[in-house]
Amino acid sequence: MRRVDLQFFAEEKTEKATPKKRRDSRKKGQVAKSADIVSALTLLAVFIVFLFSVPWMGEGLAAMMRSTLENGLNQPLSEGEVQRLLTSLVFDVGKLVAPVLGVAFVAAVFANVVQIGFVFSGDPLAFKPERLNPIAGFKRIYSVRAFVELLKSLLKVACVGFIAFLIIWMHLDELIGLSRMTIGQALVFIGKLTLWMGFAASVTLLFLGLLDYLYQKYDYEKNLRMSKQEVKDEYKKTEGDPLIKSKIRERQRQMAMRRMMQEVPKADVVITNPTHFAVALLYKDGEMDAPVVVAKGADYIAQKIKEVAKANGVTIVERPPLARALYRELDIGDQIPETFFKAVAEILAYVYQLKGKTL
């Protein structure tokens, strides 16, 4: 029973998604996005365009109708003339609605980019046999997410309906008095009322869209969560098995130590602590500007360096302060800095004197 409990907790998705899983999810087109923000912002942009372009669109529509009634209907009825008339009408209507469609397209793209940036993925369009599974489809229809979407739709309808009712109620007297207005006045009033209702509905939907985005973000993060075992498995795939990596590092350390020990017999002197540190120096007169560290080590490695040095006749000199300083401040391959020239020169002079050489 305890093993089952441990397995359950290991598979429980309690960990935040890793950067790799987030990248993979984004490549598949799975992102946190609210479609309500896109539709609300698009609707708001369209009504803003209508606000500034209604006079121009009205004049264009009147000119199109006048031209059609005055010129188009006076032409002889023929196939070519009807085609020309329809082509002209389509072109004129296109000029009137092009700004609205263009702004709607830009607003929709902007709303998507603000939420998720630029994402290009064909994965959502790919054919997947599991989508044809009726059981899976039934689960989607009667899932918690579907219930939430239903509540969102009912809330949007209720809010937009209430806003429309409120605006109509505020202008109820003018609506009752429409019969006393001229046709022009009535059209202007109805146009203004429609714009007010559109603006109010767009702002309301935009607010609801922001709330929906927060929910989509929460749901997205919840679905991305991983179990501890999934995090470990992903780490092994991306970074490699820690056990294997530790063995590789150990092998690399062993190879580096062997190469370092091969350089010890070439050294002129090994400066020791005497028990904790050992630094092997090499100096070739005329080829080097200063002595070079060819090996160094602490504790066990220091003892190995001294053993190799003794076996190959390399002089070992005990200088505790100098050995500690050289070990801490220099790496293998570094030249001795000027601050150590005097102390090292004295040691090399002593070594060369022992060997009958001159510095």
Among 156, 146, 126, which residue's Cα sits nearest to residue 219? 146
Among 249, 273, 264, 325, which residue's Cα sits nearest to residue 295? 264
Q: Is 47 exposed, middle or buried (0-12, 13-18, 19+ CB in 10 A)?
A: buried
Q: What residue has token string 């490695």? A: 301
195 is written with which tokens? 């714009």
3-class secondary structure per residue, the chain: CHHHHHHHHHHCEEECCCHHHHHHHHHCCCCCCCHHHHHHHHHHHHHHHHHHHHHHHHHHHHHHHHHHHHCHHHCCCCHHHHHHHHHHHHHHHHHHHHHHHHHHHHHHHHHHHHHHCCCCCCHHHCCCHHHHCHHHHHHHHCCHHHHHHHHHHHHHHHHHHHHHHHHHHHCHHHHHHHHHCCHHHHHHHHHHHHHHHHHHHHHHHHHHHHHHHHHHHHHHHHHHCEEHHHHHHHHHHHHCCHHHHHHHHHHHHHHHHHHHHHHHHHCCEEEECCCCEEEEEECCCCCCCCCEEEEEEECHHHHHHHHHHHHCCCEEEECHHHHHHHHHHCCCCCECCHHHHHHHHHHHHHHHHHHCCCC
Within 10 angstroms of residue 275's Cβ, the number of other Cβ atoms is 13
Q: Rounded to whole angstroms, how far apart are CA atoms 26 and 62? A: 49
Query: Can you give the pLDDT at residue 132?
Result: 63
Q: Name the β-bridge partners of 204.
A: none
Question: Which residues of the chain are under the pLDDT cut of 70?
Answer: 1-11, 70, 72-78, 120-143, 236-245, 356-359
pLDDT digits (tens, 9 = 90+) for 38-56: 888 898 888 888 878 777 7
β-strands 292-298, 277-282 pairing: antiparallel
- Contact criterion met (CB below 8 Å) for 263 and 294: yes
Contacts of 131 (CB under 8 A, 6+ apart): 137
Backbone torsions φ then ψ of 357, nearest 5 degrees? -105, 175
What is the sign, positive or negative, of the torsion defined by CA atoms of 72, 74, 75, 79? positive
Query: Can you give the pLDDT at residue 8?
Result: 43
Angle between helices 228-239 and 19-27 in degrees, nearest 10:
90
First-residue to last-residue Cα distance in the chain: 78
Q: What residue has token string 């007297």? A: 173
Query: Can you give the pLDDT at residue 24?
Result: 78
Query: Can you give the pLDDT at residue 171?
Result: 85
Q: Rounded to whole angstroms, how far apart are CA atoms 272 and 308? A: 13
